[in-house]
Structure 1
């Protein structure tokens, strides 16, 4: 049951968040890859140096996530998301003026702070605060499905802007575009909803951190996020190593974005009949199977497509499963604080896993990397199965 503003106002808020998440991920994260080649020439820097900058951004966003979560629980999201939008646009504008790798790293650190304030963690905290369990899944899905097309929209758009105007002017255009989209939508549509004043959120978080189920959730999503991050970064390279042409490899890897939307739709539908943790565990298991199949059947075009399709179905499942599981077990009073606590290790895994996998590939080859990906997905599935068995016994739910 929805309380507070009329359903129409909340529907507008969900629509606005879907738009700002698409623009946010497109400008603050996905666009970076398009700028690597021209920045490499202008800044006289290697690809590894430049990639380290976006890794830093991801790490910073994870480091500030707990503080952002506490702010959201205590003061609401409107002011924070509006300020984060302004900070993100300003950082992108500053990015257009960098003259050294050190300056780029500084800008990306600021981007990390802005990302923590405006992307999924903050947006989902708003939805969890306003929507009851029966409508929460649809609202989360609506935002995640639209935002799932961020790379599909912004990678070609950014490529066009770079080709037409150069990378520095392209960043100026993206900064202005993001500011015009995100700042007014966050300021005008996001509704603040603070938790009850009598609730001691620190005690809720502390109790959760002492519980085994919380750490099972952390282990499950950390393992799968690392696996997904590795596939997102190295899949094209591995498909080429298997003998496929670069255009085919890029096209097949591009299926991951579309399939992530499909997987989110399927998962949300299955949640109406089965428990979220078990549905998510099955999806993680299928991803592990896909990672095993890729070295075995990936040299053929059909085998490569089949493995990528199977893996892609679980590509975005964690995005909607994690907020649902946290809110269902612990309630909504300290949701953002708990979500921020979970986000820190999970975001670190997202940032570090591709670097570790690249090292494994150099030493032991890509089949070993796929083995590690499969093991991580299996570990994530097993952790969620164990969580489901304990979760049914009750938890630290807050009012």
Structure 2
């Protein structure tokens, strides 16, 4: 006879009725991540040219505001991670959503380049409080190892359609109302959807007395310090930094490469658009394969396939079949790091200080994504697309090597013993009771 699943007891509903809020939180975050990325990030591409025209400046200058926004998000990564570990995501993500909504309104009113940069930097700071890294920290705290991958996958699959929804929506709004009024509509959508969902649905998981002991600030600091002394953490950092640089470079330069080898712009843009769809496919492949194969093995293999695909495009990208095959092979790994990173960090260092450790890792990754297109542009100026795609392939191989090194030894951090004690007492690795 099967025993009934054990679920968390929420003290806010009388302290006795079994309640598990995890999947409700996943549903809310899937929606808020879609709206957040659509309005705070993807809409920029549609607004770029109209803003440059209105502000009487170049698209390069306007694009610099987005780079400044991304860098501002990197500055916030560690403080946000520390807050999430200490207090959870409800207050932070609600405040971040409200701030982002106000900044979207302010964005619609800018009349100078300086104002644009100021607003976009503010959006970068607010985005760090509400986007993937914060959402993943909330999910990791709610789900045990067995269900964590499925929960993260659900969010990334839904949010993966943000560009497909908000690029055409923003385009239609700009065409009908102009870019400034379009931003006001997007601000209204963002505020009406994300603020109440973050404020009403998010909450911290209930903890057992044993788990509460390991949530003490000193315990978190010990785990963070041990992670930073762990060479495998830095191998993981190298892997994701290299991979992030390769993905950003390919995003920016793929259309240019395809047109340079003779393909029409419409064909090149359509094929490049497959990357977003294939990122969802890659995430599904990773989640399914994790049930039978180690995560590190799958990720390293996918990164190696991407390296091969990037180099193969140099040889076969001139034909339509070769271009399609190369982009498909490369695209399968396009969104894999967003799932692999939280899984590998939580599995190695537990969840006691997950958000802080993830925030530390986010800083160099974000910097690489911001700087990679500039470096690739310099390579292109010096030698065309051959050195650019070669660099992408080499970066993917470095990423694969970093993942393999990370997997080579067991975790040395002192959290391991605490984690085992928590598992013994609660039945999970997350410091609370949930379904086995």
CA distance in 2, matches of 1:265, 1:77: 26
**1:254 aligns to what SS in structure 2?**
helix
| Partner in structure 1 of residue 345 of structure 2 | 326
Match of 1:358 among 377, 386, 397: 377
**Conserved? CA contact 1:57–1:110, under 8 Å:** yes
Match of 2:150 among 119, 138, 142: 138
Structure 1 residue 395, shift from structure 2 partner: 3.9
1:186 correspondence with 2:198: yes
**Conserved? CA contact 2:296–2:404, under 8 Å:** yes
| Partner in structure 2 of residue 163 of structure 1 | 175
CA distance in 2, matches of 1:325, 1:223: 16
Q: Give the direction of change, closer, same or farther, for the CA distance of 1:396–1:112 in structure 2 (3 Å limit).
A: farther
| Partner in structure 1 of residue 293 of structure 2 | 274
CA distance in 1, matches of 2:233, 2:354: 13
| Partner in structure 1 of residue 216 of structure 2 | 198
Instruction: Could you tell me which runs of 5 or more consecutive residues in structure 1 were left unpaired when the two chains were aligned.
Output: none
CA distance in 2, matches of 1:207, 1:44: 51
Structure 1 residue 2, shift from structure 2 partner: 5.4
**Conserved? CA contact 1:199–1:333, under 8 Å:** no
TM-score (normalised: structure 2): 0.89
**Which shifted more, 370-379 or 290-299?**
290-299
Q: Whose radius of gyration is greater, 1 or 2? A: 2
Structure 1 residue 396, shift from structure 2 partner: 4.4
**Conserved? CA contact 1:2–1:130, under 8 Å:** no
**2:408 aligns to what SS in structure 1?**
helix
TM-score (normalised: structure 1): 0.97
Structure 1 residue 312, shift from structure 2 partner: 0.5
Instruction: Could you tell me which runs of 5 or more consecutive residues in structure 2 were left unpaired when the two chains were aligned.
Output: 1-5, 11-17, 420-436
How many residues in Structure 1 have an aligned counterpart in Structure 2? 398
1:3 correspondence with 2:22: no
| Partner in structure 2 of residue 81 of structure 1 | 93
**Which shifted more, 355-364 or 65-74?**
355-364
CA distance in 2, matches of 1:301, 1:160: 31
Q: Give the direction of change, closer, same or farther, for the CA distance of 1:365–1:171 in structure 2 (3 Å limit).
A: same
1:314-393 matches, cutoff 5 A: 314-390=333-409, 392=410
| Partner in structure 2 of residue 117 of structure 1 | 129
Q: Give the direction of change, closer, same or farther, for the CA distance of 1:101–1:2 in structure 2 (3 Å limit).
A: farther
Structure 1 residue 46, shift from structure 2 partner: 1.1
Per-residue displacement from partner, 1:334-359 (whole Å, max 9, x unpaired)? 00000000000011111111111111
Match of 1:96 among 103, 108, 115: 108
Structure 1 residue 252, shift from structure 2 partner: 0.5
CA distance in 1, matches of 2:308, 2:143: 35
Match of 2:74 among 62, 82, 85: 62
Per-residue displacement from partner, 1:90-133 (whole Å, max 9, x unpaired)? 11111111111111110111011111000000000001001000
Q: Give the direction of change, closer, same or farther, for the CA distance of 1:126–1:293 in structure 2 (3 Å limit).
A: same
Structure 1 residue 277, shift from structure 2 partner: 1.3
CA distance in 1, matches of 2:8, 2:71: 36
Question: What's the Cα RMSD here?
Answer: 1.4
| Partner in structure 2 of residue 226 of structure 1 | 245
| Partner in structure 1 of residue 44 of structure 2 | 32
**1:31 aligns to what SS in structure 2?**
helix
CA distance in 2, matches of 1:282, 1:305: 20
CA distance in 2, matches of 1:244, 1:61: 36
